[in-house]
Chain A
Amino acid sequence: MAWETVIGLEIHAQLATKSKIFSGASIAYGAEPNTQACVVDLALPGVLPVLNKRALEMAVKFGLAIGADVPRVSIFARKNYFYPDLPQGYQISQFDLPVVGKGYLDIPLESGGTKRVGVTRAHLEQDAGKSLHEDFQGLTGIDLNRAGTPLLEIVSEPEISNAKEAVAYMKKIHALVQYLQICDGNMQEGSFRCDANVSVRPVGQKEFGTRAEVKNLNSFRFVEKAINHEVERQIDLIESGQKIVQETRLYDPDKNETRSMRSKEEANDYRYFPCPDLLPVIVSDELKEQIRADLPELPEAKCQRFIDELGLSEKDALGLSAQRDIAEYFEVVAEGSGEVKLSANWVMGELSASLNREDIAVADCPVSAELLAGLVQRIADKTISGKIAKGIFTAMWDGGGDADSIIESKGLKQITDTGAITAMVAEVIANNPSQAEQYRAGKEQLIGFFVGQVMKASKGKANPAQVNQELVKLLKA
């Protein structure tokens, strides 16, 4: 039987505020346990939550960026469950009237073209604390620093058809929240997490199959592997005559399998009701228009502009516009050097490779965009060859200053003087008489050997095109 997969994603993006969603405690990552958990986060009696204005604005920003309805009134609700890392005994979330209504995203397909995926809603909520299950005298340790951290939960429509599309959708949201500067997107630190609702049904069937919710998907690779695994598991079960149980399953990346979290099953009754501690939240038209006016150029618009105005290929434009900091860096390099294509190659090549290798962000890159622009200019005006430029780039990375001073101090200027090149070529030919003889006898592939010798003699500084030209001329003479 042919099967069809239906996937819906719930993405939790941690909002890049300074303080918590309902209290004035810091949300900075990596602090000593419980040093950023105040009376409100600990839910001591008599405390009242007060909504963080910035968190609300960030949610509205996201809504406007996905073309969603952002209603004037939204309300907070209590989601009731007991867990030791949730001191209130309920999570303050949103249920009936979320801050962001229906919107959409267009995701790129592997086969080319795009697919529109609906976003059902996005709502504000507070994060829980962290449970540490290492052995503390047979007890569990609780760190409440994360309790009350603002989250935006982004819920997709069940319109995603396979693991690849799920990854494309997730990447799109990941890039978007970073463009909007509402989330740092750091998946290792848990600032961007994903749960997947997965079900299968025979092709052609209208009703959805029973779904399982797969949790703990904190990388793009895991999302793809976990979904593929879960789809296979469900098909195997159905084909062997068994039934899918609606449940929450945890993905284990070490074993590449999902397993049931039985403990959660029986208590899945959250009894949502409006939170009496919080009044209805109003997003005025003025606030909405102000946020709309401040929206940055979004990835798709930037990509299109790179193609239309800078003349980049679609592939280059897509690659460069995916991350806002890379895109902005590229624009400075291209403008500073006046060389669009060469700048694109360097930003996506040497620069990205170095950033990846050293695992640092563009903001911390030791080679500024202005420095790289200077280097690109020297390649373009043929002062140096591309090969020499790589060495200079490394020197700049290590704090060697700008391209011109490195070229100057290391004497790396490309030799384009015909007289000098002719002299070197003549010398190399004189030193290799038997190869010259063979070349003249028709073994023309030996030209590579001669070019190599001349380049070596010039310490890589001779202009390769001119060397080639001179060699042919002198050898055939």
Chain B
Amino acid sequence: MSLSADEVKKIAYLARISIKEENIHAYAENLSGILDLVAQMDAVNTDNVKPMAHPQEMIQRLREDKVTEVNQREQFQRNAPATEVGLYLVPKVIE
């Protein structure tokens, strides 16, 4: 399988990773290699294999519906580049 330059660009965009034009060819080759590796599994007969949602043979534990967290806004917001009136500030997201 060989990914096109456009597919590489789309994958990069979806992951919000900025890539250089001159590296696209190398990315395409590397990613195609990974896809080829995974594609080898198509040769295995999986007729009687149930789809697996999780590699561990365990079931989800549940928590009681209780409020256990306290307000730690001040502490959390010390990590934020910008805050105002308790809000985290981010670059404008509406056009």
Interface residue ranges, A against B (CB under 8 Å): 17-19, 23-26, 32-39, 42, 50-56, 73, 75, 80, 82-84, 96-97, 131-133, 136-144, 263, 267, 269, 271, 274, 276, 278-282
Q: Output the nearest chain B residue to A15 by Cβ-Cβ distance.
A: B65
**With contacts A25-B67, A280-B54 known, is A84 near B93, CB below 8 A?**
yes
Q: Are B14 and A80 in contact (CB under 8 A)?
A: yes
Q: Output the nearest chain A residue to B56 by Cβ-Cβ distance.
A: A279
Q: How far is the CB of A145 from chain B (nearest CB, A)?
A: 10
Set of chain B residues within 8 Å of A75, measured between Cβ atoms: 53-54
Contact with A along B21-63 (1 / 0, CB 8 A): 0000000000000000000000000000001011010111111
Q: Please name the 10 residue pairs, one residue from A and one from B, whose CB atoms are nearest each other, closest first.
A: A24-B68, A141-B87, A54-B65, A53-B62, A33-B86, A38-B69, A279-B60, A139-B89, A35-B71, A75-B53
Q: Are B92 and A34 in contact (CB under 8 A)?
A: no
Q: How far is the CB of A263 from chain B (nearest CB, A)?
A: 7
Q: Are B67 and A42 in contact (CB under 8 A)?
A: no
**With contacts A33-B86, A53-B65, A282-B59 known, is A140 near B54, CB below 8 A?**
no
How distant is the Cα of A55 from the Cα of B66 in the complex, in angstroms? 12
Interface residue ranges, B against A (CB under 8 Å): 10, 14, 16, 51, 53-54, 56, 58-69, 71-73, 76-77, 82, 84-95
How distant is the Cα of A143 from the Cα of B14 in the complex, in angstroms? 24
Q: How far is the CB of B46 from chain A (nearest CB, A)?
A: 16
How distant is the Cα of A23 from the Cα of B76 in the complex, in angstroms? 16
Q: What are some 16 contacts across the A-B interface (CB < 8 A)?
A: A32-B86, A34-B76, A38-B72, A42-B76, A51-B63, A75-B53, A84-B93, A133-B92, A137-B84, A139-B89, A143-B86, A267-B14, A279-B54, A279-B58, A279-B60, A280-B59
Q: A139 touches which one: B10, B85, B90 (CB < 8 A)?
A: B90
Q: B60 touches which one: A17, A80, A269, A281 (CB < 8 A)?
A: A281
Set of chain B residues within 8 Å of A32, measured between Cβ atoms: 73, 86
Q: Are B89 and A24 in contact (CB under 8 A)?
A: no
Q: Are A84 and B90 in contact (CB under 8 A)?
A: yes
**With contacts A131-B93, A139-B82 known, is A53 near B64, CB below 8 A?**
yes
Set of chain B residues within 8 Å of A55, measured between Cβ atoms: 65
Q: Are A51 and B93 in contact (CB under 8 A)?
A: no
Q: Are B88 and A136 in contact (CB under 8 A)?
A: no
> For the complex, would chain B's binding face be called helix, strand, loop or mixed by DSSP majority?
loop
Set of chain B residues within 8 Å of A36, measured between Cβ atoms: 69, 71
Q: Are A18 and B67 in contact (CB under 8 A)?
A: yes
Q: How far is the CB of B69 from chain A (nearest CB, A)?
A: 4
Given contacts A25-B67, A50-B61, 7 further A-B contacts (CB under 8 A): A24-B66, A24-B67, A54-B64, A75-B54, A96-B51, A279-B59, A279-B60
Q: How far is the CB of B58 from chain A (nearest CB, A)?
A: 5
Q: Are B82 and A276 in contact (CB under 8 A)?
A: no
How distant is the Cα of A36 from the Cα of B68 in the complex, in angstroms? 11
How distant is the Cα of A43 from the Cα of B8 in the complex, in angstroms? 28
Set of chain B residues within 8 Å of A142, measured between Cβ atoms: 87-90
Set of chain B residues within 8 Å of A42, measured between Cβ atoms: 76
**With contacts A54-B65, A279-B56 known, is A133 near B94, CB below 8 A?**
yes
Set of chain A residues within 8 Å of B61, measured between Cβ atoms: 50-51, 279
Q: B87 touches which one: A23, A24, A25, A132 (CB < 8 A)?
A: A132
Q: Are A51 and B91 in contact (CB under 8 A)?
A: no
Q: Are B53 and A274 in contact (CB under 8 A)?
A: yes
Max chain B Cβ within 10 angstroms of own Cβ: one of A23, A34, A35: A34
**With contacts A25-B69, A140-B94 known, is A271 near B14, CB below 8 A?**
yes
Q: Are B63 and A50 in contact (CB under 8 A)?
A: yes
**With contacts A75-B53, A279-B56 known, is A23 near B69, CB below 8 A?**
yes
Set of chain A residues within 8 Å of B86, measured between Cβ atoms: 32-35, 143
How distant is the Cα of A42 from the Cα of B58 in the complex, in angstroms? 27
How distant is the Cα of A151 from the Cα of B61 in the complex, in angstroms? 19
Set of chain B residues within 8 Å of A282, measured between Cβ atoms: 59-60
How distant is the Cα of A278 from the Cα of B87 in the complex, in angstroms? 30
Q: Output the nearest chain A residue to B85 by Cβ-Cβ distance.
A: A33
Set of chain A residues within 8 Å of B53, measured between Cβ atoms: 73, 75, 97, 274, 279-280
Q: Are B60 and A280 in contact (CB under 8 A)?
A: yes
Set of chain A residues within 8 Å of B66, measured between Cβ atoms: 18-19, 24
How distant is the Cα of A141 from the Cα of B89 in the complex, in angstroms? 5
How distant is the Cα of A278 from the Cα of B73 in the complex, in angstroms? 27
Q: Output the nearest chain B residue to A75 by Cβ-Cβ distance.
A: B53
Q: How far is the CB of B1 from chain A (nearest CB, A)?
A: 18
Set of chain B residues within 8 Å of A50, measured between Cβ atoms: 61-63
How distant is the Cα of A35 from the Cα of B58 in the complex, in angstroms? 34
